[in-house]
Structure 1
Amino acid sequence: MNTFRTDGADGAGRPEMVDWDLAVRIGGRLAGDGPSVGRDEVSAIVDELRAGAARSTGLVREFTGLVAADADADAGAGAPVLVVDRASWVQANADAFATLLGPVVDKLTEKKAPSGLAAAVGSRITGAEVGGVLGFLGSKVLGQFDPFHEPAGRLLLVAPNIVHVEREIDADPHDFRLWVCLHEETHRVQFTAVPWMREHMFTQIQRFAETMEPGSLLEDGLSRVLDGLKNARSGGSLLDMVGTPEQKALLDGLTGVMSLLEGHADVVMDGVGPTVIPSVAKIRARFNERRKGVGVLDRLLRRVLGLDAKMAQYRDGAVFVRSVIDKAGMSGFNVVWEQAEHLPSRAEITDPDAWMARVLRT
């Protein structure tokens, strides 16, 4: 069997509270290699995905009116496009988590430095937990823009997962690959055209992480996952376990931003798709059905990990974007990118008129 060993992903520092090496090993094993593909076909798929991403840049910019803040961004110098296998995606996301949590871990260890045994046991427990999550997601994610990779982010396209899904839904491979590229390239365009978004999200995520107590990263880690499993059976997720008003407020803000970014990408896909992808209607219908999950375990894990909420972000965010564009035009909608204060709250995502009254004064 040939797998997609392509561009790879580099490493990052390893905070002691999480055994990142263990997380990567477990995540890589659980994710697996993906579908069997011939050597020549691997090379052709990788080339096609890179070309699809490059082609999508102009299509997305023309449709959205967003222009790169950095003249080099369109050429990929600022935020490169990488075609990766599942193991490389796992490594890249472990690196991203380590980057996000590094300063937080430093602060927590200053408050309550764990003993040698507690640190060793705790880091392996959390490493195994993170590895399990990354392993599950590593076999599902089609692409991802990582805004926190230095110097200006990077776009990852997970080739084996794209091939797996195009076969599963019986899509035209060339149409499906370009369709995926349109969505993921929209995220790259968002961040290269709105450079302050990266720092804003980094700050918000770190502020949320700083509200977590040391115990939640060490002694209580496994029990929280088990509680999440129990909660999921009654319709909840790990996100429902957020308790303090500060945590809820920060999570609401992050949810609003993520809903905006994901919904905007879906609108771009559906707006550009019919002009360049002949079978886009068939792809959208079959892909939406697939998003519901394919089995009992898959649906349970999606609920535990908050992926049902992720699907709601696509849906609600797209409704928000379409509503604003219908009433204010693309230029009116693009006011959302001017400053952080213009970003919609979680409540405004489901009430576009409230956002327009606050930001556009309409």
Structure 2
Amino acid sequence: MRSVGRVPHVTDLSQPSPSPTAERGLPVDWQLASRTAGRLMQPGPDATREEAAELVRRLRSDAAVAEGHVREVTGLGHGLPLLPADVVDRKAWAAAAVSGMAALTAGAELPEVSRVTRSVTARTAGLQVGGVVAYLGGRVLGQYDPFGGPDGEGRLLLVAPNVHAARTALDVPSADFGLWVCLHEATHRLQFTAVPWLRTYFADEVSKFLSIAQGDRGAVLDRLPEVLRSLRESGGDSLAIVELLQGPEQREVLDRLLALTTLLEGHADHVMDAVGPDVVPTVATIRNRFTARRRGGGLVDRLLRALLGVEAKVRQYAVGSAFTRHVVLAAGMEGFNRVWESPETLPTRAELAAPGDWLRRIHDL
């Protein structure tokens, strides 16, 4: 038997290379984080070489089919090139995740500290980030990383051993489950590729959040190892960094980030189910079983937990999905798509819980 954790013919992902003594970006040794995650990563479930190869082939095909359905449902992406997905093993996903984190946080401007202090902090943080990524690497089914790929313009990743393990645990048809997973990730890819301003907006908001320092200018750096240790011990679901929030400006940025992630994840959940049983015959069964044992989440969810210490609970998906469903019923998908016009048309956290308020603000309904 061969472990499906070693997927054949996957794309090599480059290691991140930011210097731990750089003046911009988090003080994290990203190369050490990537190596640590690789060493700590658990092997995938057993499968024969033939089973692993078939799963890789099917997931690549499912990704292309899924995006076609997502474009029909959402009205997004018409005319854009249909890009392939990369089917990877756990270690390859970990390398990509660390690289994406480094890229996302590269714009943060933190208080200046000595080179020695930053170097020590970077090494400690690298070990801690690696531990968190290794934990998540056994649970992530797929992700669209808007900052990944050779050119940094985005990459859709599907983690074959985790798809195999989750499908087996849920006891649902393999063909249906793989396509269902791809529908979620294809929706995320269209959110970022069909909405020109979204990628920059998200990165800027993350950088802004990380750059704001209140009180002691060294407090964020001093406490970073402690926060990351808490993240590792809690499996990535810690609210530790929220304790660093001291002023209203930080809370405003955090509210915008949480509103955006809730919208993105809820919209993707709505779409993957809206495609319906004509495409995924067992969609209702998969949804019920998956929701009952859901762990982890999409790209934005995991990055916020790993980088910011913000717990994006399963309720985030429910709130975002309910908002999407309410607005689509009231204004149609075209009316819903006004959320993508500009940052000003995004719903606030309050409006996500009260979609009628967003409809009145944007549509006068």
TM over 0.5: yes
In structure 2, the partner of 1:299 is none
Once the two structures are superposed, the pairs formed by residues 296-335 of structure 1 within 5 Å of their partners are 309-335=312-338
Aligned pair in 2 of structure 1 residues 186, 303: CA closer, same or farther (>3 Å)?
closer
Contact kept in structure 2, 1:13 and 1:99, CA below 8 Å: no
Once the two structures are superposed, the pairs formed by residues 2-17 of structure 1 within 5 Å of their partners are 2=3, 3-5=6-8, 6-16=10-20, 17=27
> Residues of 1 paired with 2:127 and 2:306: CA distance?
19
Runs (5+) with no aligned partner, structure 2:
21-26, 297-304
- 1:182-220 deviations in whole A, cap 9, x for unaligned? 111111122221121111111111111111577455432
Contact kept in structure 2, 1:291 and 1:311, CA below 8 Å: yes
- Whether 1:44 aligns to 2:51 is no
Aligned pair in 2 of structure 1 residues 277, 361: CA closer, same or farther (>3 Å)?
same
Deviation at 1:237, TM superposition (A): 2.3
Contact kept in structure 2, 1:53 and 1:178, CA below 8 Å: yes
The one-letter code matched in structure 1 to 2:175 is H
Question: Which structure has more helix as a fraction of its residues?
Answer: 1
> Residues of 1 paired with 2:48 and 2:256: CA distance?
45
> Residues of 1 paired with 2:350 and 2:155: CA distance?
30
Deviation at 1:120, TM superposition (A): 3.2
Once the two structures are superposed, the pairs formed by residues 279-358 of structure 1 within 5 Å of their partners are 279-291=282-294, 309-358=312-361
Deviation at 1:179, TM superposition (A): 0.6
The one-letter code matched in structure 1 to 2:143 is Q
In structure 1, the partner of 2:24 is none
Corresponding residue to 1:75 among 75, 79, 82: 82
Contact kept in structure 1, 2:240 and 2:310, CA below 8 Å: no
> Residues of 1 paired with 2:244 and 2:326: CA distance?
30
Contact kept in structure 1, 2:326 and 2:355, CA below 8 Å: yes
Contact kept in structure 1, 2:107 and 2:204, CA below 8 Å: no
In structure 1, the partner of 2:160 is 159
Once the two structures are superposed, the pairs formed by residues 150-189 of structure 1 within 5 Å of their partners are 150-189=151-190
Once the two structures are superposed, the pairs formed by residues 189-268 of structure 1 within 5 Å of their partners are 189-212=190-213, 215=218, 218-225=221-228, 237-238=239-240, 240-243=242-245, 244-268=247-271
Contact kept in structure 2, 1:126 and 1:218, CA below 8 Å: no
The one-letter code matched in structure 2 to 1:135 is A
TM-score normalised over the length of structure 2:
0.86
The one-letter code matched in structure 1 to 2:112 is K
Contact kept in structure 2, 1:15 and 1:102, CA below 8 Å: no
Aligned residues: 341
Contact kept in structure 2, 1:23 and 1:131, CA below 8 Å: yes
- Equivalent residue of 1:332, what SS? helix
The one-letter code matched in structure 2 to 1:88 is A
Runs (5+) with no aligned partner, structure 1:
294-301
Aligned pair in 2 of structure 1 residues 210, 303: CA closer, same or farther (>3 Å)?
closer
207-216 or 249-258: which moved more? 207-216
Aligned pair in 2 of structure 1 residues 154, 36: CA closer, same or farther (>3 Å)?
same
The one-letter code matched in structure 2 to 1:238 is A
- Equivalent residue of 2:275, what SS? helix
> Residues of 2 paired with 1:261 and 1:289: CA distance?
21
The one-letter code matched in structure 2 to 1:329 is G
- Whether 1:35 aligns to 2:45 is yes
> Residues of 2 paired with 1:56 and 1:247: CA distance?
38
The one-letter code matched in structure 1 to 2:183 is L
Deviation at 1:29, TM superposition (A): 2.7
Corresponding residue to 2:72 among 49, 53, 62: 62
Aligned pair in 2 of structure 1 residues 303, 75: CA closer, same or farther (>3 Å)?
closer
In structure 2, the partner of 1:131 is 130
> Residues of 1 paired with 2:182 and 2:238: CA distance?
32
The one-letter code matched in structure 2 to 1:167 is T
TM-score normalised over the length of structure 1:
0.86
> Residues of 2 paired with 1:15 and 1:39: CA distance?
39
Contact kept in structure 2, 1:148 and 1:202, CA below 8 Å: no
Deviation at 1:141, TM superposition (A): 0.9
